[in-house]
């Protein structure tokens, strides 16, 4: 049996699938991550964009916002790819417990996975938060202000420092989301890693939690990951193609 058929069988036999996604699924929608060569990341040093730097000075915040202003149009215009739609299909087939994602682009929601089924471990670019009073602004609103020349936007209510609702390098993981993701990982019967190199902790712990609690583990990623040896099946392919083929097979078997 080939790997696609074997994973399809596992999906058919599962009732609570957790799909864990990373940058690899979004690169197929044209969103480069900081490990990708070229693009916006060639012009900015990730070490200059840490949470600590952001908090430390107005000059650093200006640099961060310059980066964020350039990144937003790509995120706003990005469309889900076949990989996202295949995952949404798992939801419609009643197989998906939730998607846990390291991505900040909202593409799972755009592919019509309901908001409450998506756990965003690294936050989202859709909102901007005031770090003082907690007021939340739609990103489009702040983007217009940046485009009209504001360098470092401040909160209208309290004048506080504002930051995109993403988890930056060096910023603590969101407690509620992390706890929920760990709980779902422990309770699923199939844990499907899609496009994550599984190097960032504590996120990288979740497939192992699933496995320890009796779930099957499948990893679909273009390059090897440190957890490949724990997986029941590993597929080193583009995520869009592999997932589409798997879901097509699943539909054939379910009908
Ligand atoms: Zn405020």
Residues of the chain predicted below pLDDT 50: none
120 CA to middle of ligand 1, Å? 23
pLDDT computed for residue 1 by the predictor:
75
d(CA 133, ligand 1 centre) in Å = 4
Three-class HEC string of the chain = CCHHHHHHHHHHHCCCEEEEECHHHHHCCCCCCCCCCCHHHHCCCHHHCCHHHHHHCHHHHHHHHHHHHHHHHHHHHCCCCHHHHHHHHHHHCCCEEEEEECCCCCHHHHCCCCHHHEEECCEEEEEEEECCCCCEEEHHHHHHHHHCCCCCCECCCCCCEEEEEECCCCCCCCHHHHHHHHHHHHHCCEEEEECCCCCCCCHHHHHHHHHHCCCEEEEECCCCCCCHHHCCEEECCCHHHHHHHHHHHHHHHHC
What's residue 42's pLDDT?
Answer: 74
Provide the residues around ligand 1 (an ion) whose CB is within 5 A.
130, 132-133, 135, 155, 157-158, 160
Per-residue pLDDT, 37:
62
Q: How far is the CA of 57 from the centre of ligand 1 (A)?
A: 18
Centre of ligand 1 from the C-alpha of residue 219, in Å:
42
Tell how far the Cα of 161 is from the centroid of ligand 1, in angstroms. 7
pLDDT at 34: 63
CA proximity to 71, closest of 136, 148, 143, 135: 143
pLDDT at 33: 73
Whether 227 is catalytic is: no
pLDDT at 32: 80
pLDDT of residue 54: 97
The pLDDT assigned to 255 comes to 77
Confirm if 110 and 84 have CB atoms less than 8 A apart.
Answer: yes
Catalytic residue (choose from 84, 108, 122, 227):
122
């Amino acid at each position: 049996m080939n790997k696609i058929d074997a994973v399809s069988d596992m999906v058919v036999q599962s009732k609570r699938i957790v799909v864990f996604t990373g940058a690899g699924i979004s690169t197929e929608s044209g969103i480069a991550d900081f490990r990708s060569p070229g693009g916006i990341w060639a012009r900015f040093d990730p070490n200059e964009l840490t949470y600590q730097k952001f908090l430390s000075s107005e000059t650093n915040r200006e640099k961060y916002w310059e980066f964020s202003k350039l990144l937003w149009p790509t995120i706003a215009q990005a469309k889900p790819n076949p990989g996202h739609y295949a995952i949404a299909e798992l939801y419609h087939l009643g197989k998906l417990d939730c998607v846990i994602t390291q991505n900040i682009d909202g593409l799972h929601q755009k592919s019509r996975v309901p908001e409450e089924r998506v756990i965003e471990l690294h936050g989202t670019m859709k909102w901007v938060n005031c770090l003082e009073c907690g007021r939340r602004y739609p990103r489009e609103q702040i983007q217009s202000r940046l485009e009209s020349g504001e360098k470092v936007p401040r909160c209208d209510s309290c004048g506080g420092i504002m930051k995109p609702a993403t988890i930056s390098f060096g910023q603590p993981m969101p407690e509620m989301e992390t706890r929920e993701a760990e709980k779902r990982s422990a309770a699923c019967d199939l844990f499907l890693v899609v496009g994550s190199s599984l190097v960032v902790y504590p996120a990288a712990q979740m497939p192992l939690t699933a496995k320890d609690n009796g779930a099957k583990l499948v990893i679909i990623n273009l390059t090897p990951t440190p957890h490949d040896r724990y997986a029941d099946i590993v597929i080193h392919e583009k995520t869009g193609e592999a997932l589409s083929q798997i879901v097509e097979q699943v539909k054939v078997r379910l009908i």
